[in-house]
Chains A and B, each alone.
Chain A
C-alpha cells in the first residue's frame, strides 16, 4: 500500500488528468451553449499533432502551442459552421469530425514526417517543467505539486476563471442563457450564434492545449490515435461535472487518479488487460452514481439518447 500510493503517483495523477480536464472544460462550454461536442477526441488529436508539427517547424515550444491553437480553432470553426449554420445534428458532426481528425493526422504524419505510426525526435524539446519556489521544498507536497508543465497549472487556473466567468459575470450569464433557452435569449437581444461560435472556438483552444500537453507535456512525440479515448472520457467528465468547471475538475481528478493507479498496478504482475480496463469501468460506475437529470434532457433536445 505504501508502495502504491506514494507522492509520485499523485504527481502523475495531476499530469494525466490535465488533458482530460482541459478538453472537458471545452466540452462544458459547448454544452452550456447547447451544442454537445462529441468531437473532443478528434480536436485533442489534432491539437497533439499540430503541437508537434509547430515544434518541428519553429523549434519553439510557445510558438508550437500557438500554432496548435490556431489549427484546432480552424477545425472547431468547421464544427461550428456545420452544426450552427447548416443545422446538422451536432452529434453526427462530432462523430464525423473524429473520423476527419484520425484521417488527417495519419495522412499528415506520412506527408510531413514520412513515417508511419509514430513520430519521435530526440532533439525536440518538450514543454518545460516548472519548479514552484518554496512549495518544491515541502517534503511530500512538493513532490506532488511541483515540477509539472505550465499547462498543468494553467488547467487549474482556468477552472477557477471559468467558474467565475460562468456564474459571476454578465457575459457568462448570457452564455448560459443561450443554452437554456435560445429563443428567449434572442428575444432579449443576445446574439445567439455569435455566442455559440465563441464557445465552440474557445473549446478549440482548450482542446489544443489538451493535445499539446499530451504530445509535448512529457513524451515529445506523436503516435497515431494517441488520444486513445481521452476525448470521450473528457466528454464523460463534462457530463459528470454537470458542465460546472469545479465539477469537471472533480471528475477529471477521479479519471486521472484511476489511470495513474492502473499504470502503477502494472508493476504488480497483474495482467495489464485488466489494469488498462480499469479507467473505463470506473467511468461506467461513476456514470451510474452521478446521474444528471438536466443533462439527460439536453441529450434529448440534441436528439441523443437517455430517454
Chain B
C-alpha cells in the first residue's frame, strides 16, 4: 500500500508538468487562431488514431528511448553527457559501414553492425570521460563540442570516401545496405522494426543494472552523493568510465538501429535533423533518470512529435506547437514544481544555500 502511495506521489510531478505543457500548447494554439479541442483531438489521432499511426509513434520512440537511457545512466552517475547526438551519429555511421563492407551471412553482419555501432558510440563517449578524468576538462562542454566534430566528420565520410555514386549524386549518403541485413519489421507494411524490442529490453536491463546490482548501486550513489560514495570505497574514475561507455554505447545503438531498421543507409543529417538525441535528453529529464520512466517519457515525446505532424496535416496549426509543449514540459519538470515546491514553501525561507 505504501508502495502504491509512493508511486502515485512520484507521478504527481510529471503529470503536473504534462498539464502545464498542454496548457502552454493551448495558449500557442490560440495565438495562431486554432481551436484547442479540435487541435488536440487531431494530435491524439495523429499519434494513436489507428494501428498504423500507433506503430509509427513507437518506431519514432525507438532511438529516443535508447539515447535517453544512455543519458539517464550518465545523469544517475552525476555526469552531464550532452554528447548523445555525436555518439549516435558515429554509431550509425559505423553500423552502416560494417553492414556495407563486412562479408558473411545477413544475420551475422546485422549483429556485427549493431556491435560496431555500440562500440563507436561507447568509445566516443569514453574519450570525453577520459578527458575529464585525466585532464579535468569539463564533461558537459567536451561532450557538446565533440557533437559538432562528429557531425562534420560523419558528413565528410558520406560526402567523399563512402558516398553513394550510383543513384542521384546530390545526396550525401552511403549506398543502400543489402536487404538480408535489415532489422526485421514487427508488422507487415508498418515502420516498426525489431529495434523497438531491443530498446524495451535495454530499458529493463538498465533498470535491473542500476537498481539490482552492486555496480549499479555504486553508480547511483556516486550521482546522489559523490563524497559519501568515495568514502564508501566507490572507485570514482572507474565508475565514471563505465557509465560513460554504457551511456555512449546506448546512443550508438540508437544510431545503428535507425540505420539498420529505418533508413538502410547512413544519410547525412538525418539523425541530427530529427533531433532524436535531444528528445532523449528531454525524456531523461522528464523521468528524472529513471530507466523505465525514460522509456515511457520517450514514447510520450514521440507521440507529441508524430501527433503534431498529424495535426499539421489536418489543421492550420503549425507542427511547431509540439516543440513548445515539449520544451515547457521539460522546463517545468526541471523546476521540480508541484509537490516538492509546496513542501519547500512550508520550510523556513533560507536565503543563502542556493548554490
Contact = CB atoms under 8 A, between A and B. Distances in A.
Contacts of B318: 107, 110-111
B156 A306 contact: no
Interface stretch (B6-14, B35-43, B137-145, B175-183): B137-145
Nearest to B328: A100
Contacts of B28: 107, 111
Given A236-B141, A288-B135, A305-B140, A100 B331 contact: yes
Contacts of B159: 271, 273
A87 B354 contact: yes
Interface of B: 28, 31-32, 78-80, 82, 131-133, 135-142, 144-146, 148-149, 152-153, 155-156, 159-160, 226, 236, 240, 278, 281-282, 285, 318, 320-321, 323-324, 326-328, 330-331, 333-337, 341, 344, 351-355
Which 10 residue pairs are nearest across A and B when measured between Cβ atoms?
A103-B323, A273-B156, A103-B327, A305-B139, A107-B320, A110-B318, A100-B327, A96-B331, A99-B327, A277-B152
A99 B336 contact: no
B331 A82 contact: yes
- Chain A facing B: main interface SS: helix
A287 B236 CA distance: 22
A284 B135 contact: no
Contacts of A93: 331, 334-335
B355 A103 contact: no
A104 B145 contact: no
Contacts of A147: none
Interface stretch (A154-162, A212-220, A296-304): A296-304
Contacts of A82: 331, 334-335
Nearest to B79: A305
A305 B132 CA distance: 8
Contacts of A239: 138, 141
A307 interface: yes
Interface in A58-114: 78, 82-84, 86-89, 91-93, 95-97, 99-104, 106-107, 109-111
A290 B27 CA distance: 46
23 contacts: A78-B331, A88-B336, A96-B327, A96-B331, A99-B326, A103-B327, A103-B328, A107-B28, A110-B32, A182-B354, A183-B353, A186-B352, A192-B352, A273-B159, A291-B135, A291-B136, A293-B136, A295-B138, A303-B78, A305-B79, A305-B132, A305-B140, A306-B139
Contact of B32 (A111, A186, A235): A111
A100 B28 CA distance: 13
Given A102-B327, A273-B159, A86 B336 contact: yes
Interface-centre pick from B79, B139, B145, B278 (highest chain A CB count, 10 A): B145
Contacts of B82: 95
